[in-house]
Chains A and B, each alone.
Chain A
Amino acid sequence: TQLLEQSPQFLSIQEGENLTVYCNSSSVFSSLQWYRQEPGEGPVLLVTVVTGGEVKKLKRLTFQFGDARKDSSLHITAAQPGDTGLYLCAGDGETSGSRLTFGEGTQLTVNP
């Protein structure tokens, strides 16, 4: 069974601070996806990383896929209250086909 561990589980910061969320596994993934989920809504895809060592930027969000494709990080610069939400990583196993493995998520609260 492939598992994805996210840390921290909860994060509460002030507006303007920087933060990093981690997604780790002992398994290799062919790709990894990051989602954000707001209360009362379904998760929304932010990015997919595919190549080991890949870095993708989405405005103030920077996503990195580990060289060995076993881990990923999400860094947010100058967080804003609108960044508040549950951040989920999901790994696409090398042989899993249709099944994504989701982490438990990191609940981020950005206080004004």
Chain B
Amino acid sequence: ETGVTQTPRHLVMGMTNKKSLKCEQHLGHNAMYWYKQSAKKPLELMFVYSLEERVENNSVPSRFSPECPNSSHLFLHLHTLQPEDSALYLCASSQDVGQGAYNEQFFGPGTRLTVL
């Protein structure tokens, strides 16, 4: 496997379910990100991890819970989501959290989430 992989690619869940999204990067990067992409909206940054430590949490509801066990893996745990949470969830990695070339994002293919 190369680049950034995400599983599952598609997920349908009810509002009372608990599910997890998984992301793995094979690039040796130090930073990993979760983004939410909704129709007609800019990409929304949700969480940033640098060397397994969370460095940014952009007022994301607590029903989204990230976990970064090591610098290659990132999870997003989902619990009691709402229909408006339906979106494409993208994972990305970058060399570091610095500026310029350091934070060029390498994205995974995303998980298309539908909340019923």
Residues of B with Cβ closer than 8 Å to A? 4, 31, 40-43, 45, 48, 50, 55-56, 90, 92, 97-101, 103-110
Whether A42 and B90, one on each chain, are in contact in the complex, defined by CB atoms closer than 8 angstroms, is yes
Nearest B residue to A30 by beta-carbon distance? B99
Contact A98-B110, Cβ < 8 Å, known A42-B90, A42-B92, A48-B104 = no
Q: Are B100 and A100 in contact (CB under 8 A)?
A: no
Contact A102 B56, beta carbon cutoff 8 Å: no
* Cross-chain contact B104 with A104 (CB below 8 angstroms): no
B107 and A31 within 8 A (CB): no
CB distance from A44 to the nearest CB of B (A): 7
**Cβ contacts A72-105/B at 8 Å (1 or 0 each):** 0000000000000000101010000111111111
Cβ contact within 8 Å between A43 and B56: no
Interchain residue pairs with CB less than 8 A apart (24): A4-B42, A31-B99, A31-B100, A33-B104, A35-B105, A35-B107, A40-B109, A41-B109, A41-B110, A42-B108, A42-B109, A43-B43, A43-B107, A45-B105, A90-B105, A92-B100, A97-B98, A97-B99, A98-B31, A98-B103, A99-B45, A100-B105, A104-B42, A105-B42
Q: Which residue on B lies nearest to A3, using beta carbons?
A: B42
Q: Is there contact, CB below 8 Å, between A98 and B50?
A: yes
Find chain A residues with CB under 8 A from B108 CB.
42
| Nearest CB of B to A107, in Å | 10
Chain B residue at minimal CB-CB distance from A43:
B107
